[in-house]
Amino acid sequence: MKNLCLLTYLKKEFQTPTNKEQIIDFYDKATDDYRFWSKDLNMHFGYYIPFKTSLFTRDRMLNQMNAEVFKRLHIKNQKKHIVDLGCGMGASIRHGIANHPKLAVTGLTISPFQVEKGNELLQSDRGTILNRDYRNTFLKENSFDGAMAIESLCHSGCSKDALAETYRIIKPNTTFVIADAFIKKNYKQMNLLAKYTYKGLCDSWSLESLANINRVKKDLEDIGFKDIKVQNIWYRVAPSVLHVPFAIGGFILKKLFKKEPLKPESKQNLKGSFFALLSSLSMMNFGYYMITAKK
């Protein structure tokens, strides 16, 4: 009996964590590191507009990405309830309810840390974060006036299950907006450097895969979405990506100055940021897209 118990223990100890477990562990332990990237805790890249956003002010570009997503959701001055799929610490939610007085946003995340700390930061009855998987939300169908996903669906490879679940929970004639990185060709068709970059991105940020943009567009069509618009906005995103080496350098120097060790999750985050920079130099293989689709 003791040997059986020992074998069971060893099996659990050496079992490879699932992708979901890796994501939860990563965000539970590395979320605070994002404060160095964004004082507002935006966990995504930015959107640059000449003469409106500054190349040197990262948070301005990051919040502009939020603004662009809400603009495509057609919020205006109307009473609407949006769902944010993979909302992180709720930075996009806070931006939305601060700029749209009649808007309510429900965020979904599988990280208990983000649920607790994100709700503390919200401090509004128009915003809440739930501990839910966006592939199976347990929310009522036709509940929301739109959905958004900023650099979150990549954790599931922008799975058809996630897209179908989004279709189920939003109301007819409402909009779904995705802002994320995608690949333009299949892994086998990439050159060696692109394959190295792809694998580095997925391993560092616990991504199941980076989805092929053509496959995602077809999945949206098959599910029933209409008026699908796919826009490659890499040139808008690139200026914020160029902040990566400076952010990485500054973060490491800060840790060295305080004599604090780098957590494994922090190292993974820094590696992921490096590969994101590398991917921006391979435009034949990678792109950053804004997708809008109507139910």
pLDDT of res. 209: 85
Report the CATH fold assignment for 20-294: Rossmann fold (3.40.50)
Beta-sheet pairing, 147-150 with 103-109: unpaired
Going from the C-alpha of 167 to that of each of 131, 134, 138, 147, 262, the distances in angstroms are 20, 11, 13, 9, 41
- Domains of the chain, residue spans: 20-294
Going from the C-alpha of 42 to that of each of 26, 95, 154, the distances in angstroms are 16, 10, 16
pTM of the model: 0.89
Torsion region of 38: left, alpha or beta (phi above 0 gives left; psi -120 to 50 gives alpha): beta
Block residue for tokens 């949206």? 220
**Residue of 124, 291, 276 lying closest to 200 (CA atoms):** 276
84 and 114 in contact (C-beta within 8 Å)?
no
pLDDT of res. 269: 74
pLDDT of res. 31: 63
Strands of the sheet with 147-150, listed across from one edge: 127-131, 103-109, 80-85, 147-150, 175-183, 286-294, 226-232
3-state secondary structure of 233: coil
62 and 36 in contact (C-beta within 8 Å)?
no
DSSP letter string, 14-30: HSPPPHHHHHHHHHHHH
First and final C-alpha spacing in the chain: 57
Cβ atoms < 10 Å from Cβ of 256: 11
Q: Tens-digit pLDDT profile for the chain (295 aa)? A: 344 444 444 344 444 456 667 766 666 666 656 778 899 999 999 999 999 999 999 999 999 999 999 999 999 888 999 999 999 999 999 999 999 999 999 999 999 999 999 999 998 999 999 999 999 999 999 999 999 999 999 999 999 999 999 999 999 999 999 999 999 999 999 999 999 999 999 998 878 889 999 999 999 999 999 999 999 999 999 999 999 888 877 877 877 788 888 777 677 777 888 888 889 888 899 999 999 999 9
